[in-house]
Amino acid sequence: MRDPSPLHRFDAAVQAFILSRRALGRAIRLDEYVLRRLRAYLARAGYSDLDAESFERWRRRLRHCAHNTQVDWAMMVYRFCRYRRRRESRCFLPQRWTLGRHRPYPLPTPIEADQVRRLLAFIGRRPSSSSAGRALPHAAQRLAIVLMYTAGLRRGEVARLRMEDVDVETGVMRIVSSKFHKSRWVPLSPSATRELRAYLRVRAAFVPHTAHNTMLLCSCVTHGYTVEGLGSAVRDVMHRSGIWADAPRVPRVHDFRHAFAVAALRRWYEEGRDVQSELPKLSMYMGHVSIASTTYYLRLMPAVVALASQRFASSCAELIEGGAT
């Protein structure tokens, strides 16, 4: 039932929930965002607390989101309600089975080295000027693509890089508190280091040392890119380039990271190395929480699967040709 009273009980429960998540070392940024969105809806709709009716109405308002996003957000609210139920036995708790299940994510779209070269060339040909309005974001987008493709960085990791995280002399970057609160050092390839130095020259020409903007990738003189803003800018460049005009679909921004992993695995197979023993190195470099996440790239990628099949055929040729006796 609707009640004009403020959402003080809901607010107190949210605050306690967020504090408990933070104390456990959990990532809370998305939880805070979702619960803030939920609270805004409850306030606009005149509810005094969360109940079955308001929860279902709020979920219906998420239908424009991707299916897995809807499931993730509903599960976040479920975890909040489950935490609250331990303190308030009569508070609302959704039934878990009504929240849906994840659908399989689409397979990564392969990105080849030649396509990346053409994409960078397209950025280089884009109209620029002596002002920061175009030159600076174009240079930042170019470096973002290079870092995702040659170092396997996540979009969020690239967007959150600060000047202090970069050692241009050694070509090493520090990734701080990334996914799962993992931090790591990432050495860059010589070509990526050259791209970094070229970008820093452009940045220095437009962003004075006195500016308070400490972000590495700048969308303008005073601000760095947000994660969403960087993703949108890179997607726009990919669409405008026309490189994938005849492809079934344009690759996702995250597919640059997939391409890095697949290229590393393919190179190891071609060199005849023991890929299984190399996986922990790739896992550490990419910031995976476990090797299980890294083995994902071994599955369903035609180039890697074909090379693995060739190695199996060459090493087991006698068994294959001779058959069972």
Residue pLDDT, tens place only, 23-51: 888 878 889 999 999 999 999 999 999 99
Kindly state whether residues 200 and 272 are assigned to the same domain.
no
Give the domain-ending residue among 202, 230, 250: 250
Question: Residues near 123 by Cβ (< 8 Å), separated by ≥ 6?
Answer: 138, 141, 142, 145, 237
CB atoms within 10 A of CB 207: 21
Question: Residues near 116 by Cβ (< 8 Å), separated by ≥ 6?
Answer: 145, 149, 256, 259
Is 161 part of any domain? yes
Kindly state whether residues 245 and 260 are assigned to the same domain.
no
Is 242 part of any domain? yes
Kindly state whether residues 261 and 245 are assigned to the same domain.
no
Is 298 part of any domain? yes
SS3 154: coil
Q: And the tokens for 143?
A: 């470096």
Is 137 part of any domain? yes
Is 179 part of any domain? yes
Kindly state whether residues 261 and 243 are assigned to the same domain.
no
Say if residues 156 and 231 touch (Cβ distance below 8 Å): no
Kindly state whether residues 144 and 205 are assigned to the same domain.
yes
Closest Cα to residue 118, out of 140, 90, 87, 149?
149
Kindly state whether residues 297 and 240 are assigned to the same domain.
no
Q: How many residues does the chain have?
A: 325
Kindly state whether residues 56 and 160 are assigned to the same domain.
no
Per-residue model confidence (pLDDT) at position 121: 94
Q: pTM of the full predicted structure?
A: 0.69
| Number of domains the chain is built from | 3
Is 66 part of any domain? yes
Kindly state whether residues 91 and 153 are assigned to the same domain.
no
Domain range spanning residue 166?
A: 113-250
Give the domain-ending residue among 207, 226, 250: 250
The Cα 109–Cα 198 span in angstroms is 29
Kindly state whether residues 122 and 242 are assigned to the same domain.
yes
CB atoms within 10 A of CB 238: 22
* 150: amino acid identity, one letter: T
Give the domain-ending residue among 250, 279, 314: 250
Kindly state whether residues 135 and 195 are assigned to the same domain.
yes
Say if residues 211 and 222 touch (Cβ distance below 8 Å): yes
The Cα 169–Cα 49 span in angstroms is 56
Kindly state whether residues 151 and 236 are assigned to the same domain.
yes
Give burial (CB, 10 Å; 0-12/13-18/19+) of 178: middle
CATH of the domain at 236: 1.10.443.10
Per-residue pLDDT of the chain (325 residues; tens, 9 = 90+): 454 457 999 999 999 999 999 888 887 888 999 999 999 999 999 999 999 999 999 999 998 888 888 999 999 999 999 999 999 999 999 999 999 998 877 777 889 999 999 999 999 888 765 555 678 999 999 999 999 999 999 999 999 999 999 999 999 999 986 665 678 899 999 999 999 999 999 999 888 776 677 899 998 888 899 988 999 999 999 999 999 988 888 899 999 998 998 888 888 877 888 877 888 888 888 887 776 667 676 665 565 666 666 665 665 555 545 554 4
Is 105 part of any domain? no
Is 75 part of any domain? yes
Provide the H-helix boundaries in the chain.
8-23, 29-45, 52-60, 67-87, 113-125, 132-151, 155-159, 190-206, 227-241, 255-270, 275-286, 291-295, 302-315, 317-322
Kindly state whether residues 309 and 266 are assigned to the same domain.
yes
